[in-house]
Each structure stands twice: as structure tokens, then as C-alpha cells.
A and B are shown apart, each in its own frame.
Chain A
Amino acid sequence: MQIQPIFAALRKHRLATLLLALEIALACAVLCNACFLIISRVQHTHVDSGVDESALAAVKLTGYDPASSVDLNARVLSRLAKIPGVQSVNVINAVPFGDHAGTAGISTDAAGKHFAGVVDFYVGNPGSFKALGLQLVAGSMPQASDAQPLDSFVPKNATVWVTRALAEHLWPDTDPLGREFWTDQFHFRVGGVLAHLARPWGGEGGPSTIDWSVYVPAQAGRQLAGTYLLRVNPAESPRVLRDARAAIATIAPDAVVDSKNSQTLGTLREKYFRQDRLMAGILLGVICALLLVTALGIVGLASFWVQQRRRQIGVRRALGATRSDIVAYFQTENFLIVSGGIVLGMLLAFAINLLLMQHYELPRLPLYYLPIGALSLYAIGQLAVLGPALRAAAVPPVEATRSV
């Protein structure tokens, strides 16, 4: 296959060739970035919360008199534990994918000079560690003596468990056990490291901070009441939640069950990521439409060229070119144009990625997206040009003898 004649022919249609290449370039740039966005969204929805989601449910109460919260805790804990299917009931301030409760900036020095980021504090009574199913990777399990009474949202001076991601952020490459950090006058010492524990509601610094959580054991009381963590038999969780609501209506008539936050963790997770899944769906739709339009453009221009060159095709056929030669001609032509478009498109893809990085906490486009985008455009191009090329191959040699 000689490329020389193809170039010669394309030079006659400089504008149309340029337009097609430009369209491929735009499509390549949008395709790479949209794919990247989809993959990041989908990865985001697969985040490991670090807790036994399927076996957990939350019940959140509001509207009760804060003065009676100690009494409320006692009533709710003993009554809910009696519901069949409930393995344990604990008091906690927040659950993953629920509303956040203890969000604060921390510093690695007592004076607060070295600001280290904003983290979420999970404050729970001693049984909640086991109930959550947290996985310890270093240090020891919390003991009953670690749980302290609360005057504020966290104890004044506490042993805490941090996630591996947070430990690596605060003290890179050093053993985090025994290290200290502060928020205002509150002082914390690391007693252990957790594999994962996702923050209740995202993070200010984007997806990389979703694991910046701190688990603090504490005693239930006035400052820790109203939100209950139920460990249940997964198959029975809907019935258990119904029973729990009914039970609360009788033992705490003042309290109102916050329906939005009183769900199984599976439901909360589903709601939390609904927006991301939706966005991924929209992006997928745009990609399909984009490929369709690109294919339409290629079909249109190729048909036009075939129509225009009927006589030349007839001459080539009369001079001995086979049908497959004609098909190969149009496919090579398409390959060359798409190649040109892709080169331009890759530059454009990086430019768009840079723009997106500035405005929407996005990481840099990984290089391997480019060959994938290029391959799919080659495939679309070859498929789209096949129809017109076959029609060209069907031109009989006798066409050469006809004038117009």
C-alpha cells in the first residue's frame, strides 16, 4: 500500500481533511477527560469505609430535652438491645456516610502553630470499637479505662486511634504510636492505627482526605447521646429498624426519630454516592453521543469523497486494482486523518485536564488514558469508514468509461 497517492489526494481536500482531524482532536480531548472523570467517580464510590457496613444501622434521635440525655441513653440502650436480631447497641456521635458531628482542625504542636488539616472525630462508648468492626493494624485495642467522661465534644486528654492514611499524612515514614496532636486545648495521644475509617461526610480537601478520621473512646453522657449504633443480623435489618422506631415511640415519646439518618449503613452509603453514580452515568451518555456524532461526521465525509471519486475508482479498478485495494485505500486514508487528529487531541486533552485541575480538585490525567482514547477513536474511524469504503469497492470498472 502506497501512502504517497493518498497524501496527494488529501492535499486536494485540505479544508475537509483539516475539519475531520479537528473533530477527532476535540473528540479525543473530551473522551480522555470524560473517561478519567468517570473512573475517578467510580473509584470514589468504592471507598472502603473500614466498618462492617452490612451489619450496622444507625438510629438518631432529636427533639429530646438535653437535660434528660443520660436517662435517655440508659432507656434506649436497654430497650433496643432486647429487639430480636440486635447483637449490640452503642452510643456514638456519628457514623460513616451520615451527618458529621465532630469536625475540627488539628495541629501537631500544643501552641497550634503547625496546622495539619481538618479531621473528623468519631466519639463512641467503649463497645463501639468492636461493634464497628474496625481493623487494627498497629497498637493495641482500646481498653475500658481509655473511655473518659466528656465535657465537650471530645475529652480533654485522650488516647485515640487514627487511620493509616491520617498517620502517614501527619508523621510520614515514622511510627505514629505514642505521637501527639492537639486541637485547641484538647490533647490526643495515638494508641493505635486503623486500616480504614471513612469520614462521615467527605472532606474539605477532596477525595484524598476521606480517610482522615480519629476514633476516640469516651463515656456516654450528656455530650454523647442521641445517636445509636446497632449491630444487627444483616438479613433482619429492615425489621429491626422498624421495631426500633416503634420501641422509641413508647420509651421516649418526646424524642423524634431523624428518619434521614436512621438507616442501615448500606442505605446511607447508597444515598451518599448517588450523586457520583449519576454523574458517571451522565458522562457515559455524553461519551456515547460524542462517539456517535464523530462517526456520523466520518460517514458523511467519506461518502462524499466516494461519490466524488467514482470515476477515479473505476479507472483504478479497470487498471487491475482489486476490491480490497479500494477498501484498503479508504481505510488507510481514514487512519492517517485520525492519526493527525489524535496527535492534536492529546495536547488538547492535557490542556483541558490542566484547566479542570485548577477548578475542580482533580488529579493529573494518567498517561495511559491517551493510548486508550486513541485506540477507541481508531476503532470508531475504521468502523465508520467501512460502509462508504465497501460502497466504493462496489464501483464497477466500467465506470471509468462513463463521463459524469
Chain B
Amino acid sequence: MFAYYLDLALRSLRRNKVFTVLMVVCVGLGIGASMTMITVVHVMSDDPLPERSGQLYYPHIDPWPAPHGRSTNPHASDNLTLPDAMNLLRAGRAPGQAAMSGAAISIHSEQPNAQPLLETGHYVTADFFSMFGVPFRAGGGWTHADDERHARVIALSSALNRMLFGDSPGIGRTVRVGDEDFRVIGVLDDWHPQPMFYADVNGRAFGRSDAFFLPLQTALDLKLDFRGSLSCHGDGGDDRTTDRCTWLQFWVKLENPKQVSAYMQFLADYWRQQQAHGRFPQSVDPKLYRLMDWLAYKNVVPGDVRLQLWLALGFLGVCMVDIVGLLLAKFLRRSNEISVRRALGARRGQVFLQFGIESAVIGVLGGVLGLAIAELGLWSVRQRPDGYAQLASMDVSMLMGTFLLAIGGSVLAGLLPAWRACRIAPAIQLKAH
């Protein structure tokens, strides 16, 4: 029966080619535009560390008087002050914890007369590498002891290593940062979590990667250049060491719900304890964000992209209403044929199925066209200057999604016309002609 209906559908579509092309173009345009934007949003809201993200948390404790005296930006206090970060780090209540900040340094290689390289990376503490599962091509990270004694060590990305030392890892060799020599103790494999969740993700979270990692305490000691926002309140200038300026990111690893609730308790206790010292004037309200919740809270997907998604979905809506109208016209035009089939004994359900299959065939054809349009759209997205542009490509699930959306959409659009078609009374139509 199915094969017969499919045959009928194909015959009917071939009979009026212009109409068929109109409908396929409609479905294709709608599906193409919406799948382009759905894919972009999908890759942007993807999990940057799929195996570990469930255990990574960002503690948020707000030291500022409310409402934020200096800024209308609700994210101004998302970062930690140096004293708070160091207190949480030293307390060591979680199985893993690390403080970090964006970094920009000029690196001189051992070669004489070489131009210094201006590179961006991160200043981090020891647990960073084990907590995030950073893969190393050679060597590794540093220890807590290195942190404490402000060791002059550095881990390089494979790209920077290649620039400085060629293809072999430069473990044990030195690079010059400012006036200090740093020993290379690790060379990373390719590791580019997107979005770069551990960075200060205000505004740009995509398309960046770190060229090096260096101990945070060492950087503070040597007064190296920091990157990222520094928000201060009250008097006392903008010194990074004060308890009035927030600028550090902090991540903890918590393996089970018990540890999570214990850490929440610890944060609340810490807040109260600080209140006793005259800090944290707001009422005790610590937060612990899971990695994916943190990205949602930080609005990693830019407003423009979300707006484009809504626009594309609105466009799909117009296309679908269009298809309903066209299918209705097409089906009712065949009232004659339907009434003959009904008079010959076809049940309503069978007529309904026949037209349902015809709608699905249009959906498949529209899906193929939509896929081509979406690939074209994604190609044009990749030409954009934004950091996320390079991520915009389809994976298998999006490919399947395209067809599901196309077929589902057109079958849904076909429901009403098919229902109207199967309601045609056999006798009256036959009499009229």
C-alpha cells in the first residue's frame, strides 16, 4: 500500500511541475535558513569538556555592596578578588581547585636578535591541568610546591613550542619573559576547548586559544601583564592585590552531591566569616554553578546570534504557512479524483494516508534542497570575522535533524489539507461533474 501511495504521490508531483518546484523551494528556503542558525547555536552551546563538565563548578561569592556602586553590569562581580581566591585555594576543601587569570606577555626565545613575540595565555595554579584533563605532548604541569615558591616554569602550546623550538618539544630549555628566565616543563597537545569556558568569558568566548600557561603566584610576584576585566569598588585605586578588585576566575572539581553540598556550606561559612571582618555586606548568598550553567549564566551565545535564530524560525513559520496553503490548493484541486477513489471504496484514512505521504515526499525533496542551502549558509557564516565562525559546520546529529525538521514540518503542514481532502463526500463531487 505504501509503495502504491508513493507512486501516486510521485505521479501527482510530476503532473504539475511548477507547483511542485514552488513547494520544494519554500520548504528548502525555510529549512535552510533555520538549520543554518540552529547549527550555529548548537555548536556554540556545545559542552567544551564533555567528559568532565559534570564535575566542574564555579563558585560565585559577591564581595560588593549592593547595588553595585560602580557599574550597572550584573556580571561585574563574577570574578574573585585575590585574597578570596587565595583563601579558597589554601582551604583546599574540594578534590581539585584552581585560580586563573588571562595573561599577555612578550616572550624572547634563546636565539639572539629574534623579535619578541607578544602572546596571550593564562596564569593558573597547579590543579588546573589535572582538573581540566589538559593533554600534554611532553612533560606536564607544575606542583603545589612550585606554586608556593613562585617557580619560574612555563607550559607551552604546541604551536608556540614549534615557533620557539621547532618540531621537538623544548622541555628543559628556557624562554625569557620580561627579565626572567623560565624553564619549559610541559608542551601541550592540541587543546582548544570551545568556548574557552575557564577564561573571563565576557564578550568573546570563542576562537581564542592559549599559547602558554604560567604559575599565577609567579606572575603576581614579577608583576607581569594581566588581561581581562578588573572591576574595583570603593576607595583605594585599582591594585590587583587588594580585596576590593575582582578579576580572578576560580574553578573547583566536586565529584558527588555530598561534596557539592559540603562546598556550598563551606562557601556560606566563608561569607559569614568575612562579614565578621567587615567585608561582604550583602546577605549570605553563595552560588555554585555547574560548568554548563555557568556558560548559560554568562550568555556565551551572543545576542545577535540568538536574534538571528529567532528570525530564521520566524521565516520557517512563514514558509510553513505558505506550504499549508499550497498543499490545500493542490489537494482540493483533485477533489474529483478523491471522490472517485472514495466512491470506489477507499476509506477516509486511506485518502488521508495518501496525501500524508505526498506531503512527506515534498518534505524529503525540500530537506535535500534545505541541506544544500544550509551548507551554503554555514559556509557564509565561516567567512565572518567572529571567533565562533570557524566552528560552524554540521555534524551527523544536525544532518539528521535537518531531514527530521523538513519531513516533520511538511507532514505537519500537510495534516490540515489532507484532513480537508479526506472529508470530501464522494457522491456530491461525482454529481457535480
Residues of chain A whose beta carbon lies under 8 Å from any beta carbon of chain B: 15-16, 19-20, 22-23, 26-27, 29-30, 34, 37, 62-63, 65-66, 104-105, 112, 115, 117-118, 152-153, 183-185, 204-205, 249, 254, 256, 258, 271, 274-275, 278-279, 282-283, 286, 289-290, 292-294, 296-297, 299-301, 303-305, 307-308, 352, 356, 359-360, 403-404
- Chain B residues contacting A62 (CB-CB under 8 Å) are 104, 106, 118, 225
Q: Which of B33, B70, B330, B332 has the most CB of A within 10 A?
A: B70
* A-B CB contact pairs (8 Å), 11 listed: A15-B328, A15-B420, A26-B317, A30-B314, A62-B106, A63-B105, A118-B73, A256-B106, A275-B385, A359-B303, A360-B303
Which of the candidate stretches B180-188, B305-313, B345-353, B401-409 sits at the interface with the other chain? Answer: B305-313
Interface residues on B, range: 35 or more
Q: Which of A26, A118, A249, A254 contacts B71 (CB 8 A)?
A: A118
- Complex contact B311–A293 (CB within 8 A): no
Min distance, Cβ A258 to any Cβ of chain B, angstroms: 7
Contact flags B382-400 to A (C-beta < 8 A → 1, else 0): 0011100000000000000
Residues of chain B whose beta carbon lies under 8 Å from any beta carbon of chain A: 19, 22-23, 25-26, 29-30, 33, 67, 69-73, 104-106, 115-118, 178-179, 223, 225, 234-238, 303-304, 306-308, 311-312, 314-315, 317-319, 321-322, 324-326, 328-330, 332-333, 384-386, 416, 420, 433
- Chain A residues contacting B319 (CB-CB under 8 Å) are 293
CA distance A37 to B69 in the complex (A): 33
CA distance A289 to B46 in the complex (A): 29
CA distance A184 to B71 in the complex (A): 12
- Complex contact B311–A30 (CB within 8 A): yes
- Complex contact A286–B311 (CB within 8 A): yes
Given contacts A26-B318, A297-B322, contact A118 B72 (CB under 8 A): yes
- Complex contact B318–A30 (CB within 8 A): yes
Given contacts A104-B70, A297-B325, contact A304 B333 (CB under 8 A): yes
CA distance A152 to B324 in the complex (A): 66
- Complex contact A404–B433 (CB within 8 A): yes
Q: Which of A26, A152, A279, A352 has the most CB of B within 10 A?
A: A26
- Complex contact A290–B318 (CB within 8 A): yes
- Chain A residues contacting B237 (CB-CB under 8 Å) are 152
Q: Which of B30, B73, B325, B416 contacts A300 (CB 8 A)?
A: B325
CA distance A278 to B380 in the complex (A): 11
- Chain B residues contacting A275 (CB-CB under 8 Å) are 304, 385-386
Min distance, Cβ A310 to any Cβ of chain B, angstroms: 12
- Chain B residues contacting A183 (CB-CB under 8 Å) are 70
CA distance A117 to B23 in the complex (A): 53
- Complex contact B69–A105 (CB within 8 A): yes
- Complex contact B384–A278 (CB within 8 A): yes
**CB-based nearest A residue for B25:** A296
**CB-based nearest B residue for A18:** B325
- Complex contact A286–B325 (CB within 8 A): no
Min distance, Cβ A247 to any Cβ of chain B, angstroms: 15
- Complex contact B106–A63 (CB within 8 A): yes
- Chain B residues contacting A20 (CB-CB under 8 Å) are 325
- Chain A residues contacting B71 (CB-CB under 8 Å) are 105, 118, 204
- Complex contact B70–A19 (CB within 8 A): no
CA distance A13 to B72 in the complex (A): 55
Min distance, Cβ B226 to any Cβ of chain A, angstroms: 12
Given contacts A16-B325, A105-B70, contact A296 B238 (CB under 8 A): no
Q: Give me 20 other A-B pairs in contact (C-beta within 8 A), A63-B106, A184-B236, A359-B306 excluded.
A: A22-B321, A26-B317, A30-B311, A37-B307, A63-B116, A105-B69, A105-B72, A183-B70, A204-B72, A275-B386, A283-B311, A286-B312, A286-B315, A290-B315, A296-B26, A297-B322, A297-B325, A300-B19, A300-B326, A304-B330
- Complex contact A184–B318 (CB within 8 A): no
- Chain A residues contacting B179 (CB-CB under 8 Å) are 65
CA distance A34 to B117 in the complex (A): 45
- Chain B residues contacting A300 (CB-CB under 8 Å) are 19, 22-23, 322, 325-326, 329
Min distance, Cβ B280 to any Cβ of chain A, angstroms: 19
- Complex contact A292–B29 (CB within 8 A): yes
- Chain B residues contacting A185 (CB-CB under 8 Å) are 235
**CB-based nearest A residue for B302:** A275
- Chain B residues contacting A278 (CB-CB under 8 Å) are 384-385
Min distance, Cβ B419 to any Cβ of chain A, angstroms: 10
Min distance, Cβ A53 to any Cβ of chain B, angstroms: 20
Min distance, Cβ B291 to any Cβ of chain A, angstroms: 24
CA distance A171 to B270 in the complex (A): 43
Q: Which of B30, B304, B315, B384 contacts A30 (CB 8 A)?
A: B315
- Complex contact A289–B29 (CB within 8 A): yes
- Complex contact A294–B322 (CB within 8 A): yes
Given contacts A26-B317, A289-B33, contact A301 B326 (CB under 8 A): yes
- Complex contact B384–A23 (CB within 8 A): no
CA distance A183 to B233 in the complex (A): 10
